[in-house]
Chains A and B, each alone.
Chain A
Amino acid sequence: MTLTRRAFLKRGGLALVSVGTMPFWGPSFLQQLVFAANPTQTGGKKILICIFQRGAVDGLSMVVPYGDPYYYQARSEIAIPQPTQKTGAEGVLDLNGLFGFHPNMAALMPIYKSGHLALIQACGSPSSNRSHFDAQDFMECGVADDKSIRTGWLNRALLDCPEDRAKLSPFRAVSMTSILPRTLQGDQEALAIPDLKSFGVGVAGFAPSSTTASAASGFEGMYDSAVGDLLHGNGKDAFDAIGMLKAADPTKYSPRNGAVYPNGAFGRSLMQIAQMIKANIGVEVAFSEIGGWDTHVNQGGAQGQLANRFTEFSGGLAALYQDLGDRMNDVVILTMSEFGRTVRQNGNRGTDHGHATCFMVLGGPIRGGKVYGKWPGLAHEQLFEGRDLMLTTDYRDVFAELSQKHLGARDVSKIFPNHNLNARNYPGLLAV
């Protein structure tokens, strides 16, 4: 049987331990990591957190083009009112005279004002495919309408980043989902963990019993001793990961800086991402997702169905940003959605599947406080196929800039094949 590259690297790491040139793996290393003298000090390792808004978010309600006269024409019943000075009234929160946040996105306003949040309006995939299923798949693969690429762009991005010690961490790429999303599928190993609290032998799911602790140590012993077997490395990874988490103790975590995460799976997943980052267990890429954006019927305006989603979404992002505090100097959070929604409201006071939408990028290294992307306008002749927001920023230029300038990928053309990449097309989100 051929040795996988991963298994090889793993053994390389172990060899280093045995000759003592670099204290690398094993419990003592973990202790050093987890109880690092100054946990807020940045290790210099860049981290990217990706959040997928599944179901196609209405970018025109999230970051409202209230200054475009056609906006109110197209959406007589679901438009968000103009900004207002009156307290208590619910209007758009002005950003730059043309755009404004949905009032329920208020939690992000301080981050925008501090210059750490960039909004990219009219962004997305040039594909005109309007199937959630296909469009999500394309976006996660980093392609437009190309079904021959089957691995995820995030996975390829990590493979293209310089190898270093962090590569050997089982937590290098982690998704807070039960099934590994397409974007993390590929040759780089990645973990899918729906909930840190249930990551362990006999800790959740099936009722734990008195034998579980004992059984866990038995399993660990067996896989530890199975040297030479392909399963040995992975078993060891698994128990290393469990050990790392145990040391970080997910049950005793309290967010810092007054951060309050929204209730529910989304807020919890973000809190656990923060927790892993602070535990210094080698996270480079983290993934989470939030659904409920497919608002075909009665999506609401300043209040209602979609407004409620924005509260949870923006509240989660703001809490994560606050909680990570100084660590945000090395962290970028990227939000995406498979496509946008029709400019005109439909017959059910909702919106149907559209084209471009709004992406958000936040973090210490981001040149924020600005709405990126050329505004294509909402007049009938300015619309894509006569119905949808025209695309002016190819999402791959955003992903490519972050891969290259933030994560340090060497050759972005490998990550986004068949896309005409040119650094001049990058939005310019990062100063470097």
Chain B
Amino acid sequence: MIIHVLNRLGYGPRPGDVERVEKMGLTAYMRQQLHPETIDDSALQAELAKFDILAMGETELFQDFRDEQQANKQRQIDRANAEKMSATTASTNSATAQNERPAPAKRPGGEPPRRSYLAVAELQDAKIISAVDSPRQLYEVLVDFWSNHFNIDVRKGPCRVLKVVDERDVIRPHVLGKFRDLLGASAKSPAMLHYLDNFQNSAPREISPNEQRRRQQYAQQIPGAPAQTVDNKPRPVGGLNENYAREIMELHTLGVDGGYTQKDVQEVARCFTGWGIDQRTGEFAFTPRRHDNGSKTVLGHEIPPNGGIQDGETVLDILASHPSTAKFICTELCRRLVADDPPPALVERAAAVFRTTDGDLRQVVQTIIYSPEFFSPQAYRAKIKSPFEFAVSAVRATGRTIVPDDILPMNKRLAMEAGATFDRNMDRIANARRKSLDIAVIEMGEPLFAYQAPTGYTEDSRKWVNAGALIARMNFALALAEHKVVDVSASPVDLIRGVDSDKPELVLDQLNQALLHGEMAVATRATLEKQISRKDPDQASTVNVPELTALVLGSPEFQRH
């Protein structure tokens, strides 16, 4: 039971965790995990303080991003001009110029990596460090769940900086609060407004030449804004963008079979017209003149005309309290916490709690994790770890932690990680001999905060199984065991302490105990015994512990939790 709790309500046990929970009692441990504010995490917070971008305000982040875009464009112009100049000089020798390979798009050497780019890597690093080191393990699991539920891909425009704000101010404060608060925060999250296009959602209308002139003046204040022209007649602008309206129902609340129609999508889109981003500050802004002031009908509810921003709030109320939402959210939570095919009776009980407590997420989670279904044999080790869960649990199981890489400067490493997330330089990265954990997670198929579609990564863990990704897992296990993941510390604990390393069977027993809690399958055990015995008897008789550790970490058993 303790192992199950540490596996599912956290990122797997560290050496000594099982004994610690045994001592304090499983009930007390679970109660504490449900109230993370009672657990001291000052050591973690001190560790995270080095990520200064994560502490920045959204306006500063947003303006920074915009300035960068502007500078980037200027650089392209300068570079192209320079190329043109040198091409003219070299034109006497055009035959050779023709055969030259295209000039790689290289930034001038001394230039520091862009801050918005580093923001992505800081987000990823902070997520990894928190998962590895936080004593608030259940909280980190829930943050991962909700951040994925309200998925945002950092690769879309300013989302790379705005997701910093979303993670910090939208997701993290609300995962054990009321669902309506979380949903409302997400609806006003600049990252979400951008990612699902609602900032472009407006009532179609005509703008007068006067307003066109006002827009032109406004645009001139904003660096990088597209140039505005002025016609002498009213010009039609805007129109509905249904993207957010559809996804908030399909993915965030009701679920695809939650009982809404295409007409509801349009009506919800109308309610959210004018919900957007202030282009100067990057903050949420409601623009009344972009709003559709007519009356609307959403899921049978009449919404009177001229409601302004209240229309959207009403939609959020309707969606948060809809029975389909209770069912959909509880299904997904049970899928994450209990089983890929969640037990319907448990989903129903959790949904009832959701409905009667006004979407109190702490009580919903409590219902799920205190249930007999959670502790049933069918749930035990029934899920495949995601690449992130696998990597973090391997670091934890071996008693190791994330440390700054002592060779690469932090900014350089962050830039490399961000580059990999944007799928740049993968060629070089694939063959790099030194990698960080972030990049290993990308290679296993789960770039953090970078899932393109609004669905987020699936909660059905069977979908993680794929031949190519499995190889990447084995390679990671090998690299970790041989200390080749640059930002993972050396083993501070000796996993086979006190065991005679000349006795292979004893070493194997110990690794089985330490990493799999004695649950190695008979077949795996037989393979590993064969592996040990096949060693050349003339060679040193000691067991190759890193190799054996890698095999156990890469075993089918360790892929499950």
Contact = CB atoms under 8 A, between A and B. Distances in A.
Nearest to A191: B468
A206 B478 contact: yes
B263 to A, nearest CB: 15
A150 B455 contact: yes
B81 A234 contact: no
B503 interface: no
A206 B484 contact: yes
B426 to A, nearest CB: 5
Contacts of A265: 426-427
Interface string B246-280: 11001000000000000000000000000000000
A231 B442 contact: no
B430 A238 contact: no
Nearest to B548: A218
- Of A4, A179, A182, A303, chain B has the most CB atoms within 10 Å of the CB of A179
Contacts of B435: 205-206
A297 B430 contact: no
A83 interface: no
B433 A235 contact: no
A206 B475 contact: yes
A369 interface: no
A204 B556 contact: no
Interface in A274-324: 292, 296-298, 303-305, 308-309, 311-312
Interface string A212-223: 101111110111
Contacts of A242: 471
Given A215-B478, A225-B527, A238-B470, A178 B442 contact: yes
Interface stretch (A94-102, A110-118, A192-200, A400-408): A192-200
B530 A221 contact: yes
Interface in B52-104: 73, 76-77, 80-81, 83-84, 87, 94, 97-98, 100-103
Contacts of A133: 153, 155-157, 452
A137 B195 CA distance: 14
A150 B432 CA distance: 33
A222 to B, nearest CB: 5
Nearest to A178: B426
A147 B551 CA distance: 42
B423 interface: yes
Interface residues of A, number: 72
Contact of A221 (B77, B98, B527, B544): B527
Given A179-B445, A234-B466, A309 B433 contact: no
A191 B94 CA distance: 42
Interface residues of B, number: 76
Nearest to B157: A133
A209 B479 CA distance: 10
Contact of B454 (A147, A224, A234, A308): A147
A230 interface: yes
B527 A235 contact: no
A206 to B, nearest CB: 4
B547 A218 contact: yes
A78 to B, nearest CB: 12
Given A178-B442, A221-B527, A234-B467, A148 B246 contact: yes
A150 B547 CA distance: 40
Interface stretch (B30-38, B178-186, B491-499, B518-526): B518-526
Given A133-B155, A202-B475, A238-B468, A225 B523 contact: yes
A85 interface: no
A349 B84 CA distance: 12
Contacts of A231: 384, 465, 470, 556, 559
Given A189-B467, A219-B474, A222-B527, A205 B559 contact: no
A227 interface: yes
B48 interface: no
Contact of A192 (B76, B101, B468): B468
B443 interface: yes
- Of B87, B474, B531, chain A has the most CB atoms within 10 Å of the CB of B474
A147 B243 contact: yes
Contacts of B470: 223, 231, 234-235, 238
B528 A218 contact: yes
Interface string B418-448: 0000010011001111110000001101010
B345 interface: no
A320 to B, nearest CB: 18
Contacts of A189: 466-467
B468 A296 contact: no
Given A194-B426, A222-B551, A308-B103, A238 B471 contact: yes
Given A4-B462, A205-B435, A304-B84, 18 more contacts: A1-B340, A133-B156, A147-B243, A195-B430, A201-B471, A211-B544, A214-B547, A218-B547, A218-B551, A223-B556, A231-B384, A235-B470, A235-B556, A262-B101, A297-B76, A297-B77, A298-B83, A308-B101
6 contacts: A133-B153, A178-B426, A218-B551, A231-B465, A238-B471, A241-B468
